[in-house]
Structure 1
């Protein structure tokens, strides 16, 4: 059995082939004394396609107060121009059919893009939870390893003390 297999068996009390991929990866990192990367943003963003980055950008802009205020201003300008300024020659007179068409098209396009971004955010949250699990598992393994080292040190000291007591008892018995 290899050193890593012994390490796995010692910490989980089961053979390496019964462990999941995450546990194997974390145990290998712990055995090699390497740090688990916790930069979720960089790791997750590196895998994003162009469309996913665009969807995230649109959702970021479309879900902001600046977009809402700018869009309200656009709607106000549109209605003012077509109601007051161009009363005789309005390009979209009341009930603003062309504006309704534009709003419907915007909603039809924006909604699925925002849903894609929300799905991606949910995926990112799952990815982050998996990374948190790895870090927590490694921390637990390190604590267990420290406990084992302390226990071994205490046992070594107790054994040395027993030997000293036995030697002293033998020396005292020999003097009597």
Structure 2
């Protein structure tokens, strides 16, 4: 009986050691993932990139469209209804066309630069999402390993219990056979 208790305690200790080993391995595997998530590399932005972001933010907004529309309408109205000596851009509005073309020519590459930076931010964000998914997968694997250990130990315990029950049944059978043998004599 004493050896069975000692064996049970030893088995329980081995079981806990297996679980600790699984947890320790999982912590070591997750260390890199957690480090990358907690301390992402710092983004270094040049002054030109800051300007392109601000131009793209303003140039792609309703505020810009409305303000630009108001300026164009005011330009046209002034040059149509102002006295002849105050007009600076007569009817075909050649100066206005030049200004619009220049704005479009400058604004397009600036917006493209900003989009490229946004694409880089999206790439970094998707890498972080991947790392988070990887961390979750590692945790799920760890849980599966723990469950496998628990199931393995449960099956082992069931087999041992069943073996003891068979021993007990055999002992009861022997005792019954002895009793029947005495009654027959």
Q: TM-score band (shorter)?
A: 0.7 to 0.9
Following superposition, the deviation at residue 50 of structure 1 comes to: 2.5
Match of 1:140 among 137, 157, 161: 137
**Structure number with higher helix proportion:** 2
> What CA distance in whole angstroms lies between the structure 2 residues aligned with 1:29 and 1:70?
55
Q: Which has the higher contact order (CA 8 A, sep 6+)?
A: 2
Matched residues, number: 151
> What CA distance in whole angstroms lies between the structure 2 residues aligned with 1:97 and 1:55?
28
Following superposition, the deviation at residue 29 of structure 1 comes to: 5.3
Residue in 1 aligned with 2:37?
37
Q: Is structure 2 residue 121 aligned with structure 1 residue 124?
A: yes
Change (3 A) 1:35 1:160: farther
Q: Is contact 1:58–1:114 with CA below 8 Å preserved after alignment? A: yes
Residue in 1 aligned with 2:167?
170
Q: Structure 2 unaligned runs (5+)? A: 1-20, 174-185
> What CA distance in whole angstroms lies between the structure 1 residues aligned with 2:61 and 2:91?
29
Q: What's the TM-score once normalised by structure 2's chain length? A: 0.70
Q: Is structure 2 residue 185 aligned with structure 1 residue 161?
A: no
Q: Is contact 1:29–1:35 with CA below 8 Å preserved after alignment? A: no
> What CA distance in whole angstroms lies between the structure 2 residues aligned with 1:72 and 1:95?
18
Q: What's the TM-score once normalised by structure 1's chain length? A: 0.73
Q: Structure 1 unaligned runs (5+)? A: 9-26
After the TM superposition, which parts of structure 1 deviate over 6 Å for at least 4 consecutive aligned residues?
none
3-state SS in 1 of match to 2:64: helix
Q: Is contact 1:83–1:94 with CA below 8 Å preserved after alignment? A: yes
User: Which entry has the higher C-alpha Rg, 1 or 2?
Assistant: 2
Change (3 A) 1:54 1:32: closer
Residue in 2 aligned with 1:54?
51
